[in-house]
Homo-oligomer: A and B are copies of this chain.
Amino acid sequence: MSEAKAHKVKDIFVEGSIDPAYIATSIAKHTTRTDIGAHEIFLGQVRADTIDGRTTKAIEYTAYRGMALEQMTMIREEAFVRWPTLTCLHVHHSLGVISAGELCFMVFASAPHRQQAREAVAWVVDRIKSELPIFGKEMNADGGHVWKENR
């Protein structure tokens, strides 16, 4: 991995939900990389949870962008050190109001073999959930809201 590749800060944030067609385009771009044997993709979808009789209809995501992107750059670099055969790693997270049923998060890793792609995605998803300053306002159907907290 070159220094340039390692330290480039990529913007992971997208305004609005993640379009499945975008994911298809992202998958299709890898057909020229014939050293890839395995893709692992995690997608987060907004759930319409009902707590105390109130149902989530959407989550409004905000982020401390500067810190989140710096944290993500470190996580990405560490991932390529932990799984040296990883071919690529794509991360997107939504900002703004995402309705229940829509996609808000994607982690997509590719590698020659499945074990690396699988482990890298699980690890990156968990790191992002615990370390990126992203905030979620769960908007209920009744007009109220609750602030989401990752456990």
Contacts and interface: CB of A to CB of B under 8 A. Distances in A.
Interface of A: 20-21, 23-25, 27-28, 30-48, 100-103, 110, 112, 114, 117-118, 121-122, 125
A147 to B, nearest CB: 17
A42 B42 contact: no
Nearest to A30: B45
Interface of A is mostly: mixed
B34 A103 contact: no
A34 B100 contact: yes
B102 A31 contact: yes
Contacts of A33: 101
Q: For the complex formed by this chain, how many copies does it contain in all?
A: 2
A73 to B, nearest CB: 23
Given A42-B117, A44-B114, 17 more contacts: A20-B27, A21-B28, A23-B27, A24-B24, A30-B101, A31-B101, A31-B102, A34-B47, A34-B48, A34-B101, A37-B44, A37-B46, A38-B42, A40-B43, A40-B121, A42-B118, A118-B121
A23 B124 CA distance: 22
Contacts of A101: 30-34, 36
